[in-house]
Amino acid sequence: MQNIKTIKTNEEWRKLLTPIQYNILREAGTDRPFSGKLWNNKEKGTYSCVACGNQLFSSKAKFDSGTGWPSLFAPLSEESVLIKPIPSGIDGSEVLCASCEGHHGHVFTDGPLPTGLRFCMNDSILKFQK
């Protein structure tokens, strides 16, 4: 299954998103750790992109990394997210929504089995559905 691309101008994104959501999704900002309501969520459901609704992760992949951000060991599907290497600065790769290409966080190689990955996502730009 291939995602349909969501394309908007910066002005359109600014009207659609809150200032913090815009900062994270369009300018690669970040939430403060432990500041959101989803990092400690233990309910069963699906995490989607708040900007375009693309389903990104299942709660079945969520785990407590102790970092204060929602952490998951695998995306819902390989088509859900884009992984973009970072040239310098952070020891990991950037995670983008495959539909709107908004920044969601980073993926690191210090996660649990079965993947060994830790998708460290920003709380403010995730929508949770039970």
Neighbours of 64 (CB within 10 A): 10
Convert the pLDDT of each residue in 20-65 to its tens digit: 999 999 999 999 999 999 999 999 999 999 999 999 999 999 999 9
Question: Residue 121 and residue 57: Cα distance in Å, rounded?
Answer: 10
pLDDT value at 5 more than 80: yes
The full set of domain ranges for the chain reads 10-129
What's the fold here for domain 10-129? 2.170.150
* Catalytic residue, candidates 49, 52, 100, 120: 120
pTM (global) more than 0.75 = yes
Higher pLDDT, 87 or 80: 80
Convert the pLDDT of each residue in 84-128 to its tens digit: 988 776 678 999 999 999 999 999 999 999 999 999 999 999 999
Q: Please say if 52 is a catalytic residue.
A: no
